[in-house]
Copies of this chain bind each other. A is one copy, B any other.
């Protein structure tokens, strides 16, 4: 960069004073530090004239604070997380923080790397959407007393701050909704994951069946591996349709599963919802644009993101405050893909 940046020293020289005075004035400490009024005015004028911008690195090195938040999300190519990232970024900026984003791609190792890199970069704190098998990393942060907030996914056994979704309730509602609309053989396509939110979705789904006295069939639940979504989904759906009690409705536990599933359903020539009703988690333009708009679980993204930032920033100011554990409620948005079942004559 051409003209080297102006520093406190430059201003000090031009004003014929020490850097200390300049620092006091520009940090609004003229009162406490009893800086002469005239000189204060002069310093401010010179600072403006030279277009002074403080050097964050120096500031941070001295203060130990970088005003930077590390955001680790599970998958940036998922529009849900991309949106969350944007919200977090905006909210952080409002509070004078910069966000650095990393995507762990649902991979514990990448997540570990990111945490290391970000710690190295001296982020003040983290907002984390945990990936599978990353519980131990969270323990580590807890142990090192690094400020962080878990977002969207949390570990029930760990005493951490978190903001997530009441997945049990959301899945329960999804199932109940389908049942109310006359569907009886309801499948769930979830990820094969020990993550709590996923287990809760499964539990909520099963509970909805149970409360309606629908005996659960093991073929109705498919748990798909992250790495082999496309293939397993095809096999899974085939299996569900060929079962003794073939499904007439499907719940997708995530956006990505829904995309893959719908593609396959399309290719089979099945008609939604007549051949197969659909409810999905996650939200996206796809769901509007599908020939039959998809019923989905509306997650309060805006609140999730904002609250996470709020909690983290509060924590940065008051490290010893009580842990905040927030479960937000989703709202089922009913569309055509789960409309009242037409009885076959």
Contacts and interface: CB of A to CB of B under 8 A. Distances in A.
Interface string A16-56: 00000000000000000000000000000000000001111
Contacts of A288: 263
A318 interface: no
Contact of A55 (B54, B122, B143, B262): B122
Interface string A103-124: 1000000000000010111100
B286 A3 contact: no
A218 interface: no
B262 A57 contact: no
Contact of A82 (B53, B82, B89, B259): B82
Contacts of A342: none
Interface stretch (A94-102, A194-202, A307-315): A94-102
Interface string A270-298: 00000000000000011011110000000
Contacts of A345: none
Interface stretch (A58-66, A178-186, A321-329): A58-66
Contacts of A263: 288-289
Interface string A52-94: 0111111011000010000000001101001101100100010
A120 B1 CA distance: 13
Contacts of A82: 76-77, 79, 82
A118 to B, nearest CB: 8
Contacts of A317: none
Contacts of A289: 259, 262-263, 266, 286, 289-290
Contact of A77 (B54, B86, B144): B86
Majority secondary structure of chain A interface residues (helix, strand, loop or mixed): helix
A145 B2 contact: yes
A146 interface: yes
A83 B89 contact: no
A117 B101 contact: no
A259 B286 CA distance: 9
A144 B61 contact: no
A299 to B, nearest CB: 15
Contacts of A122: 55-57
A146 B103 contact: no
A281 to B, nearest CB: 16
A197 B119 CA distance: 40
Nearest to A141: B1
Contact of A120 (B53, B85, B121): B53
A57 B53 contact: no
Interface of A: 1-3, 53-58, 60-61, 66, 76-77, 79, 82-83, 85-86, 89, 93, 98-103, 117, 119-122, 143-146, 259, 262-263, 266, 285-286, 288-291
Given A57-B66, A100-B100, 17 more contacts: A3-B144, A53-B120, A55-B61, A56-B120, A57-B122, A58-B61, A61-B61, A77-B83, A77-B86, A89-B103, A98-B117, A100-B101, A259-B285, A262-B289, A263-B289, A286-B289, A290-B291
